[in-house]
Amino acid sequence: MHPWVRLSDRVRLGVVTRWVTPELVADVLEKCGVRDKKPGALPAGFMVYFTLALALFQQDSYDDVAEQLVGEIAELSGSIPNKSSFMRVRRRLGPLVLETTFRELAGPLAPVGLGRAFYRGMRLAAVDGFVLDAPDTTANRATFGGPVKNGQPAGFPQTRVVTLTECGTHAQIDAAVGGFNGGEPELAIKMADSPPPGCWSSWTGAFPGWRCGRRTPGPGHIC
């Protein structure tokens, strides 16, 4: 067996692997129809962890991130693939696998009675937004847009992210991603149109909320 094949069982990603287990990753890859095509290639399971590590170690190069993951595994530390190999496998992995992994894990965590997690029987959650830089390519500029000054691009293309976060635990319940030129209210509405599993959308003022029937004190409580 090629030494990289079972790498997803041995990566060094700290507490993240307690939640994003190899079994979960394998299940997500199966659901998304992503399979390793040839022996010796970087396995898709490893690339899930590698992509998560790229987010955790944003300032590091591809090689440095790979070293963080496998540097202490003797048979792998001397054979880390080059950047072009990582890029090819990332494109083959596609965005759906990472989104599905997020959907499998996202959701409220606060147990009934946790202080500051509920108000008058309602689960407290906050809507917040931020932007992330994207690689400066023509396709990303056309898809996402970005800052403009005097009619010219000013900086990298950017994606806009809006999250729904449980106040008591800071657990991510839901998220929506759009372009720089879109607004946070529109993304919040998008989340309301696709509520998390076990929830249905409701409205409070200008922002959407979710009534959750499974993970709250009782049906009809507003997230």
Q: What is the pLDDT of residues 132-147, one digit of tens each?
A: 998 888 999 999 999 9
pLDDT value of residue 71: 59
Residue 112 lies in a domain: no
Which residue ranges of the chain lie beneath pLDDT 50? 1-8, 198, 200-209, 213-223
**Structural tokens at position 218:** 């009782």
Domain span holding position 26: 7-105
> In this structure, are 128 and 69 located in the same domain?
no
Element of type H or E holding 126: strand 125-133
pLDDT value of residue 222: 40
> In this structure, are 122 and 96 located in the same domain?
no
Residue 86 lies in a domain: yes
- 3-class DSSP assignment, residue 15: coil
Contact 204, 192 (CB under 8 A): no
Residue 168 lies in a domain: yes
pLDDT value of residue 75: 52
> In this structure, are 128 and 100 located in the same domain?
no
Q: Which residues contact 80 (CB under 8 A, 6 or more apart)?
A: 63, 66, 67, 70
Which of 70, 105, 140 is the last residue before a domain boundary?
105
Which of 74, 105, 136 is the last residue before a domain boundary?
105
> In this structure, are 100 and 122 located in the same domain?
no
> In this structure, are 100 and 139 located in the same domain?
no
Q: What are phi and psi of 158, to 5 degrees?
A: -135, 145
pLDDT value of residue 2: 42
Q: Which residues contact 73 (CB under 8 A, 6 or more apart)?
A: 7, 10
In order, the DSSP letters of 149-209 are: ETTEE-S--EEEEEEEEETTT--EEEEEEEETTS-HHHHHHHHHHSPPTTEEEEEETTEEE
**Structural tokens at position 3:** 């030494």
> In this structure, are 141 and 98 located in the same domain?
no
Q: What are phi and psi of 149, to 5 degrees?
A: -135, 125
Which of 105, 134, 159 is the last residue before a domain boundary?
105
> In this structure, are 24 and 84 located in the same domain?
yes
> In this structure, are 140 and 93 located in the same domain?
no
Residue 209 lies in a domain: yes
> In this structure, are 124 and 194 located in the same domain?
yes
Residue 110 lies in a domain: no
> In this structure, are 125 and 75 located in the same domain?
no
> In this structure, are 95 and 122 located in the same domain?
no
How many CA atoms lie less than 13 Å away from 61 in the CB half-sphere?
7
- Dist. CA 46–CA 11, nearest whole Å: 8
pLDDT value of residue 47: 85
pLDDT value of residue 214: 39
- 3-class DSSP assignment, residue 128: strand
- Dist. CA 220–CA 209, nearest whole Å: 11
Domain count for the chain: 2
